[in-house]
Structure 1
Amino acid sequence: MPCPVHTDFFDDNCPECRQEYMEMKGANEPAVEQGKYKEFTEERAKKLYEQVMLQYLKAGATEADAAGKAKAVVRKQCAIRDMPCWPWL
């Protein structure tokens, strides 16, 4: 559930912001294997891309900058998991 107070940014001191951030990262979901990151499907990647892009747009970035930064975040998640990126990245 999104924080009703901090709509433009995450506040590290706000419990609701921290919970929203953890949910976005999938922290409450079981890991694929012990010590490994959760499976990163294309559907999950597109959802992350959309959420990150919206955060950058809310922060005042242009659409092109927000898209580029959001794609970089998704590519980083692929790199962390040592998996190839999708063609749309």
Structure 2
Amino acid sequence: MSLRVASESVVSDLARGGLEEILSPAGSTRYDERVSSYFSLTAQKKLYCFVQPKPAEQVSQILKSLLAHPDARFAIRGGGHVM
């Protein structure tokens, strides 16, 4: 699962919360790889970052940050397109 975040304030909160290792900010190699992994070019969005949590604790921390910013836009991506 990865989370596409479109709010700079949420990204800052996540980084301050110790989640820098799972953040892929715009312009990074990991970010470019995530964007290019979309099956459809029309589905590609330009965002502040991707977040790829592993344990449930990271998911919880991310959701708490999102809830603290009710105007933040985000999307959740599961397994993606499977061929």
The alignment's TM-score, normalised by the length of structure 1, stands at: 0.30
More strand by share: 2
The alignment's TM-score, normalised by the length of structure 2, stands at: 0.31
Bigger CA radius of gyration: 1
Point out which structure has higher relative CO (alpha carbons under 8 A, 6+ apart): 2
More helix by share: 1
